[in-house]
Amino acid sequence: MTVFFRSLQVLDWLIAASWMGRVLVWRHMLPRVPDLTRNDYGSTLRGLPSLTVIVPARNEAANISATLKSLLAAHAITLEIIAVDDRSTDQTATLMEKEARLADQNFRVLRVTELPSGWLGKTHAMALAAQQATSDWLLFTDADVVFHHDALRRALAYVVDSGADHLVLLPTLVLESWGERMMVAFLQALSIWAVRPWRVADSRAKRDAIGVGAFNMIRRQVYAELGGWEALRMEVVEDLALGRRVKERGYAQRVALGLDLVQVRWARGAFGVVENLTKNLFALLGFRPERLVGLAFGVAMMTLFPLFACLGGRGLWWPTITMVVAFFLAYERTGRYHHFSSAQVVFFPLATLLFLYALMRSMLLALWRGGITWRGTFYSLRELRAWQKNAG
């Protein structure tokens, strides 16, 4: 029993020390990431490049008007908007066309009625719009994103000032329920193991690539040189795939913060978050069960194991307390950018269980169905895996 207890204690302290070390480094380095609300970069004096914003949408009648109105409110830039209705069965196309008629700037609506084989709906819609874009820069965004009127100008000023080829402006997540706050707070804490945003600008840090569907801005020439969305036409997590492709090919990638410059309500309620994770997680892991099971085991060990271990005696209390303090520090820091309180840390065990449930559900549903349904179209695991193998 003594050997077993000592082994638990060592493992518990290793987990606690890993969390604390990672969080402290992350808190120390995060201020190095540019914040577009605090620095305007002064590039407006030299003139800004033109921008085409591409908004693909399928059955987004509830959100599309707000997104387009916020884009039309942008000022001090040369802006083109291309909205793409991707086979919607609701009023999405009608609302797009209404906003286009009222617009006093370059605004076009494209309609997709059939999806060619070998494409995902979203990548096809974006590729179609990009073919018609005329600007220096392209911004790929989603149909439920709301932009501050100065967000695009600030982003363009930053890419000029920094010499970027690709920019991700991290969105502020709109959280309207305790379940959303609980899950998003946990995911933000967990994300410190996945990405180091201060390393994104380092061309040697190939692992630290980034892409976000709400705000993927890329130089049009670079987009063409990368093969456009045609080169990523069957990528489910296409935003991250684009970011990785930019970084792998040696182009200048940048990431920036900006509280409330770009806002999106990613999910509604805790189970809305679970549903979104179910759609994405297995794809993110390359549809490989061994990776998903390994991630589930790792997350359980790094979060739930210390909580259970502390039941073994006082000698195991301190490492568990250390881990909880590290969680608190992570929540406190990330909460500044997404409007949630560090008090959400008390719910992290429940959030962990829901995350693990989403992980396993993502895999089991895909295996049971033999594939995934994405934007109304079914894709078999065989074709998705074959695509990833050939693309790799």
Q: What is the 3-state secondary structure (H, E, C) of 248-310?
A: HCCCCEEEEECCCCEEECCCCCHHHHHHHHHHHHHHHCCCCHHHHHHHHHHHHHHHCHHHHHH
pLDDT of residue 97: 95
pLDDT of residue 289: 96
Q: CA geometry: angle at 94 spanning 90 and 97, to 5°?
A: 145
pLDDT of residue 121: 94
Q: Please report, in tens digits, the pLDDT of each residue of the chain (392 residues total).
A: 588 778 888 999 999 999 999 999 999 999 999 999 987 776 555 689 999 999 999 999 999 999 999 999 998 899 999 999 999 999 999 999 999 998 877 999 999 999 999 999 999 999 999 999 999 999 999 999 999 999 999 999 999 999 999 999 999 999 999 999 999 999 999 999 998 999 999 999 989 999 999 999 999 999 999 999 999 999 999 999 999 999 999 999 999 999 999 999 999 999 999 999 999 999 999 999 999 999 999 999 999 999 988 887 777 889 999 999 999 999 999 998 889 999 999 999 999 999 999 999 999 999 999 999 988 889 999 999 888 877 76
Contact between 55 and 138 under an 8 Å Cβ cutoff? The reply is no
Domains and CATH numbers, the chain: 2-30+270-391 (no CATH), 33-171+212-264 (3.90.550.10)
Contact between 350 and 182 under an 8 Å Cβ cutoff? The reply is yes
Cα radius of gyration rounded to whole Å, the chain = 22
pLDDT of residue 44: 54
Element at 68 (helix H, strand E): helix 64-72
Name the DSSP letter for residue 115: P
Cα 194 to Cα 15: distance, rounded to the nearest angstrom: 16
**pTM (2 d.p.):** 0.94
Token pair listed for 262: 């770009």
Q: How many residues does the chain have?
A: 392
